[in-house]
């Protein structure tokens, strides 16, 4: 059975914003300047010619940030788009944000840091209650090992984890190695793993992973092939540690594969909308993706196994239009807030004028001395 493997939608809040924006005067005709600080690999995958061409048509200009020069001496920027690691860069951005509050920084460096550790990455998901949204979302049981491989077996036993276990590096630093994983079939193999790492219980999920891209308030879902299910016979006869590359980023998509409809069925829209809203709020991020699986044999039991900041949007169908619309919406939102503030100020001014001014005991909103 051939299924359409992607779905894109926006929540009701975004639709209301669009309706409200119709009443606004048009934005000033000027370029939207986006300064970007990305690795060469990310520049190649993200800033593709089609994206830059569409951006120019929409009045968006991407400008590379020179990391050898002070950031405040560059620009001016309307938006700073970044995905670099290191405490020095984080401090540069934090200082810049304080000096230039009018510039939107995508995203706050302290919020991004939360996703660079797999121990803290899934904390926001573990205590979510989405049972009223057409499904349940949780995280696989896991334990963190920071050092000493000989302590792994004891830690796994105390945590009550069941084999097989997926081993992932604790720190996510953007390198290919930080996204590699291993599957441990037996207890004796656990001591061969290399801490610091996270051990997660493996959940059979039909060999299909759902990659949920978040761009502001827009959600797009695609299928990817994942690790195959493990049966009892394989578990009894299996031994050792099997290492895998970055599985969810494999070039082969599951969108056009002949899959069992129960396995291939995308997570329900209301569930994903609620999940995205909650994670945006809890994480304080607008650009990220969620790797989700459905427990095999169920229709409504889902697990989040990874969250990544500023993922490979170049692999997301139609990302050029989605991303440029998102950038324009940020400016529209700021413009709307400025107009609202000006309207509120003008209304207060006329109210004060009509009432003959303010009393001496009050604080003047117009910043004028009371008479």
207 has binding-site annotation: yes
Contact 305, 291 (CB under 8 A): yes
Contact 1, 261 (CB under 8 A): yes
Cα end-to-end distance, the chain, whole Å: 79
118 has binding-site annotation: yes
308 has binding-site annotation: yes
336 has binding-site annotation: no
357 has binding-site annotation: no
203 has binding-site annotation: yes
* Beta bridge pairs of residue 218: 10, 215
202 has binding-site annotation: yes
Q: Which tokens is 88 given? A: 């020095």
The pair phi, psi for residue 75, each rounded to 5°, is 100, -145
223 has binding-site annotation: no
177 has binding-site annotation: no
200 has binding-site annotation: yes
Q: Where are the beta strands (DSSP E) in 271-330?
A: 287-294, 301-309
301 has binding-site annotation: no
262 has binding-site annotation: no
205 has binding-site annotation: yes
147 has binding-site annotation: no
Q: C-alpha distances in angstroms, 216 versus 278, 315, 328, 330? A: 13, 17, 11, 9
Cβ-proximal residues to 212 (8 Å cutoff; 6+ apart), any chain: 219, 220, 221, 267, 272, 275, 276, 289, 290, 291, 292
334 has binding-site annotation: no
Q: Which of 326, 331, 291 is nearest to 209 (CA)?
A: 291
Q: C-alpha distances in angstroms, 194 versus 157, 182, 199, 307? A: 18, 10, 11, 22
211 has binding-site annotation: yes
Element of type H or E holding 222: strand 218-225
Cβ density class 230-256: b for 16+ within 10 Å, e for less: beeeeeeebeebeeeeeebeeeebbbe
Q: Which residues are annotated as a binding site for Mg(2+)?
A: 291, 306, 308
Q: Which residues are annotated as a binding site?
A: 42, 83, 118, 168, 179, 200-211, 226, 291, 306, 308, 312
Q: Which residues are annotated as a binding site for 1D-myo-inositol 1,3,4-trisphosphate?
A: 42, 83, 211, 308, 312
Q: Which residues are annotated as a binding site for ATP?
A: 118, 168, 200-211, 226
């Amino acid at each position: 059975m051939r299924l359409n493997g992607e779905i894109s939608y926006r929540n009701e809040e975004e639709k209301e914003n669009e309706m409200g924006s119709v009443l606004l005067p048009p934005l000033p005709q000027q370029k939207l300047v986006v300064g970007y600080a990305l690795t060469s690999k990310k520049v190649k995958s993200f800033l593709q010619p089609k994206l830059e061409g569409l951006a120019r048509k929409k009045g968006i200009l991407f400008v590379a940030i020179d990391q050898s020069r002070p950031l405040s001496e560059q620009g001016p920027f309307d938006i700073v788009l970044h995905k670099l690691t290191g405490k020095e860069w984080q401090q540069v951005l934090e200082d810049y944000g304080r000096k230039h509050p009018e510039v939107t920084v995508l995203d706050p460096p302290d919020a991004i840091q939360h996703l660079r550790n797999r121990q803290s990455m899934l904390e926001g998901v573990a205590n979510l209650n989405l049972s009223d949204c057409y499904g349940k979302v949780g995280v696989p049981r896991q334990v963190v090992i920071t050092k000493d491989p000989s302590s792994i077996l004891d830690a796994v036993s105390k945590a009550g984890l069941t084999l097989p276990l997926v081993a992932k590096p604790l720190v996510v630093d953007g390198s290919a190695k930080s996204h590699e994983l291993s599957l441990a079939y037996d207890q004796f193999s656990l001591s061969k793993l290399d801490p610091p790492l996270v051990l997660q219980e493996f959940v059979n999920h039909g060999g299909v992973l759902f990659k949920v891209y978040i761009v502001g308030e827009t959600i797009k879902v695609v299928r990817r092939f994942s690790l195959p299910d493990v049966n009892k016979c394989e578990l009894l006869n299996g031994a050792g540690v099997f290492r895998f590359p970055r599985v969810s980023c494999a070039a082969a998509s599951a969108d056009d594969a002949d899959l069992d409809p129960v396995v291939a069925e995308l997570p329900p829209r209301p569930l994903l909308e609620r999940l995205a809203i909650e994670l945006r709020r809890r994480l304080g991020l607008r650009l990220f993706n969620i790797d989700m699986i459905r427990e095999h044999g169920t229709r409504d039991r889902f697990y989040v196994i990874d969250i990544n900041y500023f993922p490979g949007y170049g692999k997301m169908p139609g990302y050029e239009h989605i991303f440029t619309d998102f950038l324009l919406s940020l400016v529209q939102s700021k413009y709307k807030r400025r107009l609202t503030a000006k309207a509120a100020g003008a209304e207060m001014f006329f109210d004060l004028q009509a009432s003959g001014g303010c009393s001496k005991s009050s604080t003047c909103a117009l910043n004028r001395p009371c008479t």
